[in-house]
């Protein structure tokens, strides 16, 4: 049994048809040949795009020469109303300054320090989970948001402000795709970008609510009563080069991306992991068996979940939450004996790279044991980038690889998940890789 993936379009369609397909879903708008191509070129009247799957080319762009391939401003245009100048969108010296302030909050022992908050969120998620037929994405979104608020601001999702941010974000998430249409179709930079009125208004409301959280924390820091959590750490860390801290406005930008990256991506991965467990009950039983070790809030318990980690990693391979990333060539390049003009868009697609037919054994199959094979180990080093790679690797990658397996194991410790006949999910790209009509499962107590 092969897990579902979107249908591919024919190799050749008109530009107008491509734009129509892209607006509907960026994954199914791509041709099947991208699952076996090392590099593909898309020409438009205004610029060129190149999708790159060859591992050494991906390494060049992400690891070896990241300053020569900054994030494309075309992507930022779609998310800037919500994220402002967050670390997700900036480049150059501004980005480097932001990372110097943010990175210490996620280093080393901080994972151990945030683990109790993750534990409490996983317990709360298990208590909320109903029995019977359930749309599981709604519950994983709730759980992932709870983790963010507990670890960032030491408040549960039930807090009035936290709950307001979460519910407002639910209204926003399906109205704005993470990849702006301008990344792939011929819109010149001078052409104004149109946002849906409700999308822009929702982003403004979310930012206003986050501003209240930041202001509340700033007052607690000034009074000496702030908890020692991620928000306090970030807001009090000074740039080692300038001695400056984030301004309130800058902190709103960063909290917005922490919430988007830490909540939306984790929710996507957890939902698909639970669906895969329903599709493969033998693996589900293995995870549930490991989960019996989760009896007390002890970070050491994570070392007892190796199968669960393999399952979660395989989920990230098949359903990477961020399916495509776009960089821009800052100078003329030559890749695979092909001229790449300055300003070209370079598309790095975890979705296609993780399923590449010339790299992976049985690329479309669900097989958590692959990570212990020679092919799996090689591909993990060279062709597995769910959190990006290099200098711009996701700051919260280690955080996510604790949170995801923990919540997955905790939910399956008490509950069995089963597929719903006739409700096979179809992956589509919204803010992250979600299911077109949700992921429906039958849940029952073990």
Residue 7 lies in a domain: no
Per-residue pLDDT at 194: 45
Token pair in block for residue 409: 């194991």
Residue 258 lies in a domain: yes
Q: What is the pLDDT of residues 164-178, one digit of tens each?
A: 998 888 777 655 544
How far is 9 from 21, CA to CA, in rounded Å? Answer: 9
Residue 9 lies in a domain: no
CATH of the domain at 140: 1.10.630.10
> Residue 180: is its pLDDT beyond 70?
no
Which of the residue ranges 7-16, 104-113, 192-201 would you say has the lowest mean pLDDT? Answer: 192-201
Which of the residue ranges 153-167, 168-182, 203-217, 330-344 would you say has the lowest mean pLDDT? Answer: 168-182
In the chain, the number of structural domains is 1
Could you tell me whether strands 48-52 and 345-348 are parallel, antiparallel, or unpaired per DSSP bridges? parallel
More reliable by pLDDT, 13 or 42: 42
Share of the chain above pLDDT 90, in %: 67
Per-residue pLDDT at 168: 87
Residue 301 lies in a domain: yes
* Range 260-271 average pLDDT: 90
Closest CA to 407 of 205, 226, 266: 266
DSSP 71: B
Per-residue pLDDT at 44: 65
Per-residue pLDDT at 261: 80
Residue 378 lies in a domain: yes
pLDDT tier for residue 329 given thresholds of 50, 70 and 90: very high
Residue 1 lies in a domain: no
DSSP 117: H
Residue 207 lies in a domain: yes
How far is 128 from 143, CA to CA, in rounded Å? Answer: 9
Give the residue numbers spanning the domain of 339.
15-445
Per-residue pLDDT at 199: 73
> Residue 16: is its pLDDT beyond 50?
yes
How far is 124 from 145, CA to CA, in rounded Å? Answer: 12
> Residue 4: is its pLDDT beyond 90?
no
Which of the residue ranges 33-37, 108-112, 197-201, 339-343 would you say has the lowest mean pLDDT? Answer: 197-201
CA distances from 262 to 109, 191, 296, 312 (A): 19, 32, 24, 16
Mean pLDDT of the chain: 88
- Where is 402: in which H helix or E strand? helix 397-414
Where does 327-396 have alpha helices with state H?
A: 350-353, 374-382
Per-residue pLDDT at 272: 98
The answer to whether the CB of 308 falls within 8 A of the CB of 289 is: no
How far is 387 from 398, CA to CA, in rounded Å? Answer: 10
Per-residue pLDDT at 444: 96
pLDDT tier for residue 442 given thresholds of 50, 70 and 90: very high
Residue 327 lies in a domain: yes
Closest CA to 446 of 405, 424, 418: 418
> Residue 76: is its pLDDT beyond 60?
yes
> Residue 182: is its pLDDT beyond 60?
no
């Amino acid at each position: 049994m092969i897990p579902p993936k979107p249908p591919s379009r024919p190799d050749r369609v008109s530009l107008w048809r491509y734009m129509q397909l892209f607006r509907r879903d960026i994954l199914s708008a791509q041709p099947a040949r991208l699952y076996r191509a090392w590099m593909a070129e898309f020409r438009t009247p205004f610029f060129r795009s190149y999708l790159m799957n060859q591992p050494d080319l991906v390494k060049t762009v992400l690891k070896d020469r990241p300053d020569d391939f900054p994030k494309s401003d075309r992507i930022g245009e779609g998310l800037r109303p919500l994220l402002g100048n967050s670390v997700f969108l900036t480049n150059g010296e501004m980005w480097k300054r932001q990372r110097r302030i943010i990175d210490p909050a996620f280093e080393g022992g901080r994972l151990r320090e945030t683990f109790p908050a993750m534990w409490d969120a996983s317990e709360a998620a298990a208590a909320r989970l109903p029995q019977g037929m359930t749309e599981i994405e709604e519950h994983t979104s709730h759980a992932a948001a709870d983790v963010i608020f507990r670890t960032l601001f030491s408040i549960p999702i039930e807090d009035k402000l936290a709950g307001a941010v979460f519910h407002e974000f639910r209204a926003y998430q399906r109205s704005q795709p993470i990849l702006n249409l301008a990344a792939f179709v011929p819109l010149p930079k001078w052409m104004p970008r149109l946002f849906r009125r409700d999308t822009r208004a929702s982003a403004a409301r979310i930012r206003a609510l986050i501003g209240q959280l930041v202001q509340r924390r700033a007052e607690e820091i000034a009074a000496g009563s702030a908890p020692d959590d991620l928000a306090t750490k970030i807001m009090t860390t000074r740039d080692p080069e300038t001695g400056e801290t984030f301004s309130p406005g800058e902190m709103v930008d960063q909290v917005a991306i922490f919430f988007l990256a830490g909540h939306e991506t984790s929710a996507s991965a957890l939902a698909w992991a639970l669906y895969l467990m329903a599709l493969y009950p033998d693996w589900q039983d293995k995870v549930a068996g490991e989960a019996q070790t989760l009896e007390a809030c002890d970070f050491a318990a994570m070392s007892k979940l190796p199968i669960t980690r393999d399952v979660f990693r395989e989920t990230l391979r098949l359903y990477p939450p961020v399916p495509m990333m776009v960089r821009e060539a800052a100078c003329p390049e030559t890749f695979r004996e092909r001229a790449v003009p300055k300003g070209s868009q370079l598309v790095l697609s975890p979705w296609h790279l993780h399923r590449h037919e010339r790299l992976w054994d049985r690329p479309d199959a669900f097989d958590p044991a692959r990570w212990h094979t020679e092919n799996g180990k090689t591909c993990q080093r060279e062709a597995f980038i769910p959190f990006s790679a290099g200098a711009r690797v996701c700051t919260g990658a280690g955080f996510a690889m604790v949170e995801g397996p923990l919540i997955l194991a905790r939910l399956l410790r008490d509950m069995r998940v089963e597929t719903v006949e006739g409700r096979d999910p179809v992956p589509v790209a919204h803010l992250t890789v979600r299911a077109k009509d949700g992921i429906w499962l039958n849940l029952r107590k073990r």
